[in-house]
Amino acid sequence: MKPDSYYITTPIYYVNDKPHSGHAYTTVLADVLARYQRMFGRDTWFLTGTDEHGQKVQEAAAKAGIPPQAHVDRTVQRFVEAWKRLEIRNDDFIRTTEPRHKVIVQEILQDLFDRGEIYRDEYDGWYCVSDERFFTEKDLAAGKCPECGRDVQRVREANYFFKMSQYQDWLVEYIQAHPGFIQPDFRRNETLGFLRKPLQDLCISRPKSRLAWGIELPFDRDYVTYVWFDALVNYISAIGYRRDDARFARWWPAIHLIGKDILTTHTVYWPCMLKAMGVAMPKTIFAHGWWLSGATKMSKSLGNVVNPIDMLERYGVDPFRYFLMAEMAMGQDASFTEEAFIRRYNADLANDLGNLLNRVVSMTGKYCDGRLPAPEPGAFQQGPAAALLAQAAAAAAALKTAVENFTLQAGVAQVIEVVRATNKFIETRQPWTQARAADRGPLHTTLYAAAEALRICAGLLMPLMPGKMTDLRAALGMENPMTVNPDELTKSEVLKPGAQVAAPGALFPRIDAPTPAAETPPPQKVPASGTVGNPEGVLAYEDFAKVQLRTAKIMSAEPIEGAVKLLKLSVLMGDERRQIVAGIALYYKPEQLIGKTVVVVSNLAPIKLRGVESQGMLLAASKGECLRLVTVDGDLSSGAIVK
């Protein structure tokens, strides 16, 4: 991939199902990353689409009494409409039933067959209809499919096989030599673990007598192509492979975003196929985690799938997009509950970002007749306003790095920290007091600096919430609020003094959700004793009851300059954000902490460590040289009382 080009793909989604939050997450994530790259000035191409062949489609069409093509033409609209509702700006949408794709698949098959990479043989083994995959006896889990747990069928038939096994040693060496090829690292290790076992040749055909709905093999009309050998080719057929060499060279290699459940097909099958074709490897295959319902993966069969359209109708597209990006650390699993959505919405968007806009606009209206005031000369060279804008510029640089390193959640958290810092800046500077002074310069600097920080934050969050951030930037009097120039994200004094500000209404109205009353433990009676007081080292219940323990979710973590053992953490405790300094840097890297739900002593008086305020204390256990944080068992919301 050339430095100025960026090609990103989602998996192509199987049309025999409705889009759910897992599909929505991958697609929104790809859209957000593509929007950031466009905003940073890179030549960008974003591909998504649908996988429309296979046995499940054939069976569903037969059940509906219509041809398979008519069935997929109807069901594909679910995805097309969902992506429109989610404001996905993909550059192309490919369907595997399109002629432009089918002809490339057949040409690849013929070429591999002619070069002896594909051969015919008898197969005798187990087949899973749901996953449309063959398994050996040793692969089965208690006699069932190791992937989905369903029953398998014994199948004996002649088929065509791709000589995948001959590429095993090469693939292991390639993965080891290219650490960025499979990410995160633990998925890379998972693939290498899979490759410790002998790699089998891949069955790439299905007889038409059993499955007729697929791309016909060009060298044997009695067979169709295995759905994965067909589907994976979409990544190159869509950008001109074997048709437009210049276009293909412009975009390939790609960044593939996938769910962890299709890791093997993308990190084993696909590289071996490309090697046989003589095509360069993808730049990166990034496998994200699953959205969980409680502690369980979302599954249609379990009936716990969240419909993204339902969430859009209740809360709007931008908050839904924000939640998907801010809640899940890329690569890790995350819990999708309405409670978690409301908690983050209120904390980040209503309490912090929306409140900041309301304060800036209302005070500008009250004290400056609704027009942005001019700051004092030199206000952004040193002092509190300069420090605030420097923090905003640092967040912009950190977010750009986070986009490149697939740590988007951490980058977004830094932007929200700037929002919080701006609210604190207003509280410290007290413009309502400054407005009573004869010298209006400090007041004007305060309001202008807060508006500038808000402008930068809105620009940084534009790829996540394009509609709401356009409204926010328009409220600050910007002439072209939809266009974010990357240079403006690190500059100050971009807003024009004298520009009219106007409140867009409640940008993020707070969502009220019923909260169960906290249970207070009943007082415990102290047993009668012949002695007065407690034995040495024994704590009376009345004293222990003063300690308040609550759960908190770690949103960001970073080292403290000059401190070897300390990390500065931002944690979410219910609707409240806090900063905690913890002496755990020798035991945890910052990126390992993001997303963890920990236990915090919540009613400690704030103290300063190395000049950084700490508003609580984490609980941890240690033995010898080992230290581990106290975390909760299973899914539990932040802010819960620990009893």
Residue type, 542: E
Residue-wise pLDDT for 352-386, tens only, equals 999 999 999 999 999 999 999 999 999 999 999 99
Candidate from 47-51, 127-131, 315-319, 494-498 with smallest mean pLDDT: 127-131
- Asked whether the CA dihedral 285, 397, 573, 609 is positive or negative, the reply is positive
pLDDT at residue 307, rounded to an integer: 72
- Given a cut of 60, whether residue 196 has pLDDT beyond it is yes
Residue-wise pLDDT for 523-552, tens only, equals 444 443 333 445 555 556 566 667 878 888
| DSSP codes, 86-128 | TT---SEEEETTSHHHHHHHHHHHHHHHHTTSEEEEEEEEEEE
Share of the chain above pLDDT 90, in %: 64
User: What are the sequence ranges of the domains in the chain?
Assistant: 337-489, 541-629
pLDDT at residue 126, rounded to an integer: 87
* Alpha-carbon gap, residue 136 to 120, rounded angstroms: 18
- Given a cut of 70, whether residue 635 has pLDDT beyond it is no
Mapped onto helix, strand or coil, the DSSP state of residue 431 is helix
Class of domain 337-489: mainly alpha
pTM above the 0.85 mark?
no
- Helices 384-404, 21-39: inter-axial angle, 10-degree rounding: 120
**Main-chain dihedrals φ then ψ at residue 497, nearest 5 degrees:** -55, 140
pLDDT at residue 157, rounded to an integer: 87
Q: What is the CATH number of domain 541-629?
A: 2.40.50.140
Residue 117: pLDDT band with limits 50, 70, 90: very high
Could you tell me how many residues make up the chain?
A: 643
Q: Kind and range of the H or E element at 50?
A: strand 43-51
Residue-wise pLDDT for 578-617, tens only, equals 899 988 887 787 777 887 888 988 888 787 777 788 888 8
State the CB neighbour count (10 A cutoff) for residue 612: 15
Residue-wise pLDDT for 292-342, tens only, equals 765 555 555 555 556 777 888 889 999 999 999 999 888 888 877 888 899
Q: What is the mean pLDDT of residues 430-458?
A: 97
Residue 280: pLDDT band with limits 50, 70, 90: very high
